[in-house]
A = this chain, B = another copy of it.
Amino acid sequence: MKAVGVVVEYNPFHNGHHYHIKQSKKKTDADVVVAVMSGHFLQRGEPALVDKWHRARMALLSGVDIVIELPYAFATSKAEQFAKGAIQLLTAMKCETFAFGSEDGNIEPFNNTYSLLHDYRTEYEELIKYFVTKGNSYPKSLFEAYEQLKQKRPQLYIDLSQPNNILGYHYIEAVHKINSSIKPVTIQRIQAGFHDDISLDSTIASATGIRKALFEDGELKRINDYVPNTSFEQLIQWEKSHRQFVHWEAFWPLLRYTISRYLPKDLTQFADVSEGIEFALVKYAKVSNSFTEFMNHIKSKRYTWTRLQRMLTHIFTGVTKEQLHKFDSPTYIRLLGMTGIGQQYLGEKKKEFDLPLISRVAQTKDELLQIDLRTTEIYAQGIQLFSNKKIDGDFQTPPIRI
């Protein structure tokens, strides 16, 4: 059996994801789709809309055969670490191919950019230094250096100012770095851009657009057209059980309390908290009665929204810099769910896997897994604050079978 891997958040699963899966399978002629999915905290520094069990179920009901969890330490890190963890897991699971979405569906520019930056590494670094010394900001210097480097070898290259392209680049880089035999392909994304709102004349919207519609309109039926029916049912079920979808706003009393508990200097133990932002965090947590109010106080040119949210995620979960950055690679394959075909694949290939497959979680000494368990508990307590129900925990929940 041949497997194609995808790297996902499914927050929530929507028609665009469904399309990507179908195309990935077709393009790679795979029998099985393996999704590496983030758990309860996502790469943009946000808690997931619904828990990982509901999101895994959505995926399994719409074409994914196996869902495994990308550990927190990778799922909430910068693109480079995120991509590396995901590619390592797919490689460990013996996926032959790996498919990611891109604007034009052509893998060549990705490969070209990787080779260029790899072959001219020293020159690239010197160019960056040169532009920095000339007084440019670091991002601006990166851009200029890249522009200049491209002249050396005229080919098709990717635009590195696009978030999706940066992630794609890091996938390719990870494949090379870990010497993976996995073959990357890219599937052209249809219609919706990364941050687009949902529109009336389409059934495709970005997850960001869908979340926006959900929170602004507050009505689930508003997004019915943009997600598969099976996903919609999962969302209905969640809303029935837990009253509302998860958003930073709902966790604000806990996050605010946590920030207020620290002396500013002690907040620098968390990833990305430095350069004085710790003083603003403590100062404005006290006076802000909502997450939005807080973010409006602390945002500035210096810090992107994502960077701020990511540092808040780590403060919220209590995962320190030291804990977050100690892992070079995943140490396990955490199975969240599978279809019949997925189960068949696992039966056939499990013995060849490079990492242990964990179906049921028990007390563990694995520090990477401990973080996952801890962050599930924190997410669950956050939900209990507004809903009377606790979500299923890691210890009690067996892998979903569809």
Contacts and interface: CB of A to CB of B under 8 A. Distances in A.
Interface of A: 253-254, 256-258, 260-263, 286, 317-318, 323, 370, 374, 377-378, 381-382, 384-385
Contact of A257 (B254, B263, B370): B254
Give the oligomeric copy count. 2
B378 A260 contact: yes
B256 A381 contact: yes
Q: Which of A256, A258, A261 has the most CB of B within 10 A?
A: A261
A253 B258 CA distance: 12
B261 A317 contact: yes
A374 B261 CA distance: 7
A380 to B, nearest CB: 9
A255 to B, nearest CB: 10
B377 A260 contact: yes
Which of A257, A317, A370, A382 lies at the interface centre, i.e. has the most chain B CB atoms within 10 A of its CB?
A257
Nearest to A384: B253
19 contacts: A253-B254, A253-B381, A253-B384, A253-B385, A254-B254, A254-B257, A256-B381, A257-B258, A257-B378, A260-B374, A260-B377, A260-B378, A260-B381, A261-B318, A261-B374, A261-B378, A262-B318, A263-B323, A286-B377
A377 B287 CA distance: 10
Nearest to A282: B374
A158 to B, nearest CB: 39
A286 B381 CA distance: 9
A contacts with B: majority SS = helix
10 nearest CB pairs, A to B: A261-B318, A257-B381, A260-B377, A254-B257, A286-B377, A253-B385, A262-B318, A260-B378, A261-B378, A260-B381
Contacts of A261: 258, 317-318, 374, 378
Contacts of A317: 261
Nearest to A316: B261
A198 B256 CA distance: 39
Contacts of A370: 263
A290 to B, nearest CB: 12
A371 to B, nearest CB: 9
A388 to B, nearest CB: 10
A176 to B, nearest CB: 35
Given A254-B257, A257-B378, A261-B317, 5 more contacts: A256-B381, A258-B261, A260-B374, A260-B378, A263-B370
A384 B374 CA distance: 26
Contacts of A382: 257
Contacts of A262: 318
A259 B317 CA distance: 11
A222 to B, nearest CB: 29
A368 B381 CA distance: 32
Contacts of A254: 253-254, 257
Contacts of A257: 254, 257-258, 378, 381-382
A258 B262 CA distance: 12
A384 to B, nearest CB: 7
A323 B266 CA distance: 12
A341 B377 CA distance: 55
A71 to B, nearest CB: 16
Nearest to A382: B257
Contacts of A385: 253
Contacts of A381: 253, 256-257, 260
A273 to B, nearest CB: 15
Contacts of A286: 377
A382 B254 CA distance: 10
Nearest to A363: B283
A254 B382 CA distance: 10
Contacts of A260: 374, 377-378, 381
